[in-house]
Amino acid sequence: MKIEVSKLRQDEAEAVAGLAHAVWPVCYAGIISPGQIDYMLEQRYKPALVRQLLARGDLWLAARADVELVGFAHAYPLDNGDYKLDKLYVATDWQRLGIGGELIRATADYARRHGRERLILRVNRQNDKAIKAYLKHGFTVATVVIEDIGDGFVMDDYVMAMALATPAGEPA
């Protein structure tokens, strides 16, 4: 089946929230508590928030199989010139088929075209599966961040970075 990656539509905000609620309990089982999973989903995946970030101009990419949303990525520019890949999730039945890699490539291409030199992300230090995937796609560990996110929960993350070289034949 062919997967199409293109910009997320406003009417897909509910589908993003639904996909996040399906993937997170599987992705983070044994890494963070069910309470923290619920807390973070509530903070980050309200359809109204997704629509607000779309309206702000953030990059939201959708991976679709026919019309079904099977993955998504969210990224935005930082003041220091980096571009932050803030969210990247693929439905569990669709993982290991190259969809995450395609979302990374599309995000990196977009950031590069907009003059950014580095794509960065944060990943839980216990999320070995995701860390291996990011290393495979050219990211390296830059630093560690431990952040209190409220309600007694902490994010214990690697910041990973990937240089965005100008493609050969294009002016720098």
Domain presence at residue 42:
yes
Domain presence at residue 159:
no
pLDDT of residue 128: 95
Domain presence at residue 128:
no
Domain presence at residue 142:
no
Domain presence at residue 55:
yes
Range of the domain at 100: 3-119
pLDDT of residue 2: 86
- CATH number of the domain that residue 83 is part of: 3.40.630.30
Domain presence at residue 75:
yes
Q: What residues have CB less than 8 Å from 119, skipping those under 6 apart?
A: 75, 82, 83, 84, 85, 104, 107, 108, 111, 139, 161, 162, 164
Give tens-digit pLDDT for 35-71: 999 999 999 999 999 999 999 999 999 999 988 999 9
Mean of the pLDDT values across residues 66-89? Answer: 95
Domain presence at residue 64:
yes
pLDDT of residue 138: 96
Q: How far does the chain reach from its first CA to its final CA, in angstroms?
A: 37
Pairing relation of β-strands 68-77 and 118-124? unpaired
- pTM value? 0.92
Q: What's the total number of domains in the chain? A: 1
Domain presence at residue 50:
yes
Q: Is the pLDDT of residue 121 over 70?
A: yes
pLDDT of residue 31: 96
pLDDT, the chain, mean: 94
